[in-house]
Amino acid sequence: MGPAVVGTVDEGETYESNIVKEAEEEIGLVGIKPTKGPKHRISDEYNYFGQWYKLVVDKPADKFVIQEEEALRVKWFTRDELIQELKDHPERYLKGMSWNLQSLS
């Protein structure tokens, strides 16, 4: 599990235009105005930058339009539930999710 949407920024795109495009393609959100979060460098088997965004959405999880090739499901967590999930089952989440959760506070 991981963030709601992700994407690779293509030539001519910005981080923000990419996240808006990916949110529409992957989970059906349109007309969003995300807030820029932290940007950090990831150095593992690949070397890249990750730009995080956050967005407040008041919509039931079952009302998202999911692109099945990109997303398994949408599930809402309270902050405390997600912190506990990350402690109990870190293997279910992308590396760095704990750091990103703290950074997006």
Predicted pLDDT of residue 105: 61
Per DSSP, helices labelled H in the chain are 15-27, 79-88, 97-103
Give the residue from 50, 55, 20 showing the smallest Cα distance to 38: 50
Architecture of domain 15-75 in this structure: Alpha-Beta Complex (3.90)
Q: Is the dihedral of CA 64, 70, 73, 79 positive or negative?
A: negative
> In the chain, helix, strand, coil percent, each to 5?
35, 15, 50
Instruction: Quickly list DSSP for 11-34.
Output: TT--HHHHHHHHHHHHH---S--P
Please state the domain extents for the chain.
15-75
What average pLDDT does this structure show over 92-101? 76
pLDDT tens-place string over residues 11-68: 999 999 999 999 999 999 999 999 998 888 888 888 888 888 888 899 999 999 999 8
